[in-house]
Amino acid sequence: MDLARLVATGLVAAAAWLGMPSLAEAAEDERGRPWAQGTIVPNFGFGFGYSQDLVSLSFGLGAGYYIANGFSLGLQVDDEILIYSKSLKNDLPDLENQVPTNVFSLTPTAQWVFLRRPRFSPYVFAGLGPVFLNNDNGVYGQWTAGPGAYIGVGGPVWIDLGVGFTGLFPTGQCNERFEYQPSAVGAEPIPVLDYCSFRWGPRLGLVLALGGSRRETSARERPADPFLPPPEPAFESAHPAVFD
């Protein structure tokens, strides 16, 4: 067995092991698969975090457009509200006027749905964009990436379930914005929150997949084949002529 045949045999075996369809099957199956080119996906989500000194509420809106089958580009807008505990604010007067209490981000994203199925479509995503900290704390960069899956609910509605990994940069300068500066002269800053370092957490949202689907063209809608003879005229019955 020569090398080319050996490689071909290995590829066929790998495709069978992974459950990949043949090229003919893939072409036939393409018509009914989700996340096709031209699909528009608006989405929204909600997040909640809790610790002894902090409660965080986050809201997100976004949209993606599939420029190719399974591959989309989009934009995500997120707003996070940081609510510090009453005890922490009592210990650190004027805390909410120094450190950020609102984090607003704009993140261009890219996403690849590598297995497009009507009920379960796993994907990976990545994004990079600016983050705005209130109370004059500046603008920083943010990267995000992670895996996830779309779970079909019915029609164009899907549940978006995944895990997100995030970090802000430059990390050291960003974390300095979450330090409390006491009023006493010469006092050292007090770290309040390690917000900008590497973080991860679950992602849960709801998305709509609009457009992009392909439908079978009916026989009536198909163009006539120029090489076929014209159809026979329909037979119409007639009464025999009557002569006097």
> Number of helices and strands (H, E) in the chain?
4, 10
- Residue 65 placed within a domain: yes
Assigned domain for 74 exists: yes
Could you tell me which residues come within 8 angstroms of residue 137 by beta carbon, excluding any fewer than 6 positions away?
A: 99, 100, 177
Separation of alpha carbons 101 and 137, rounded Å: 10
| 55 within a domain of the structure (yes/no) | yes
Q: What's residue 232's pLDDT? A: 55
Give the CATH number for residue 147.
Answer: 2.40.160.20
pLDDT in tens, 22-62: 444 444 456 679 999 999 999 887 888 888 999 999 998 99
Cα–Cα distance for residue pair 72/93, rounded to 1 Å: 47
Residue 81 lies in a domain: yes
Share of the chain above pLDDT 70, in %: 74
Indicate the number of domains in the chain: 1
CA distance 165 to 145: 5
Asked, for residue 48, whether it belongs to a domain, the answer is yes
**Which position has the token pair 């509605």?**
157
Place of tokens 């080119």: 37
| Per-residue pLDDT at 206 | 83
Look at residue 219 and tell me if it is in a domain. Answer: no
Closest CA to 160 of 113, 219, 128: 113
Choose from 10-24, 65-79, 195-209, 219-233 the range with maximum mean pLDDT. Answer: 65-79
Are 163 and 203 a contacting pair, CB within 8 Å? Answer: yes
Residue 150's contacts (CB-CB under 8 Å, 6 or more residues apart) are 34, 35, 113, 120, 121, 122, 123, 158, 159, 160, 207, 209
Quick check: is 199 in a domain?
Answer: yes
Structure confidence by residue, pLDDT tens digits, 153-206: 999 999 999 999 999 999 999 999 999 999 888 899 999 999 999 999 888 888
Residue 26 domain flag: yes
| Residue 178 belongs to domain spanning | 22-208
Token pair in block for residue 33: 């698969």
